[in-house]
Amino acid sequence: MSESNHLTVGSVPWNSFDVFAALGSVIAGFVVLAMAILQFQPETGPGAASLVISALITSCILFASSWAFGPLKHGVSVVTLGFCPPNFSTVGLRIFPVLVLVSALVVNGVYSILVGYWSLEFFEPPELPNFSINTAILTGVFFVVVGPLAEEVFFRGFALQGISQRFGVKTGVIGSSLLFGILHFNLVVPTFLIGVLLAFLFVRTRSVFPCFFVHSAHNGLVFITSVVS
């Protein structure tokens, strides 16, 4: 399958079979985590501590699955997951991350307005528990730094490249973004659209670092807005 010069990813040894095997391990980990939270959380619902712990475990699951079914299984460097300098060879590529960030914020804003207008409570983001200052800082670190890095490594560095090896980059973009959206449950629509933006950013820059910057900045603004409001 031929792709345009701008729609290519690096050649990696893993493929869609490895991606779905990794996805199975991620889902299994999520199920065990959910059962543990339901078992030990208070009846009033998950608190700030549970949120922090679950975020840490989720990130570890994503990191471990990406590494185990990618570089470890096939005997290659973790650099193949996108840990390389980005391609900023043109002015357009240098400003592309900013454009993606603005577009992601627009998607988020429009989605929130439409969900509120039609009173679609199921599709609203979950409410955050009450935080102490220390817990808010710790949660922010996971939400803004650890979580985005883990997700970019798994969905862009691992899944996008793996699916693209077998089905081409366009399918890789859609497929990895769809997985990204589905694993965010009730936020599947905006997360899928933002995933497409991040996937194209990865394809153009060949690096997870610009994707992480955009994802981190987006989450940071959303987190600050949620805490303040």
Residues written for the chain: 229
In a domain, 6, yes or no: no
Q: How many CB atoms lie within 10 A of CB 16?
A: 17
- Look up the pTM and report it: 0.91
Check: CB of residue 84 under 8 Å from CB of residue 206: yes
In a domain, 2, yes or no: no
85 φψ region: left (φ > 0), alpha (ψ -120 to 50), beta (else): beta
Q: pLDDT of 155-194, one tens digit each?
A: 999 999 999 999 999 999 999 999 999 999 899 999 999 9
In a domain, 3, yes or no: no
In a domain, 117, yes or no: yes
Most confident of 18-27, 110-119, 131-140: 18-27
Mean pLDDT of the chain, nearest integer: 90
In a domain, 5, yes or no: no
In a domain, 9, yes or no: no
Q: What residue type is 141 in one-letter code?
A: V
Kindly provide the b/e burial profile for residues 51-84, where b requires at least 16 CB atoms within 10 angstroms of the residue's own CB.
bbbbbbbbbebbbbbbbebbbeeeeeeeebbbeb
Under the banding of pLDDT at 50, 70 and 90, the label for residue 1 is: very low
Expressed as residue numbers, the domain containing 150 is: 16-228
Domain count for the chain? 1
Under the banding of pLDDT at 50, 70 and 90, the label for residue 44 is: very low
Give the phi and the psi of residue 12 in degrees, each rounded to 5.
Answer: -125, 155
In a domain, 10, yes or no: no
Q: What residue type is 9 in one-letter code?
A: V
In a domain, 1, yes or no: no
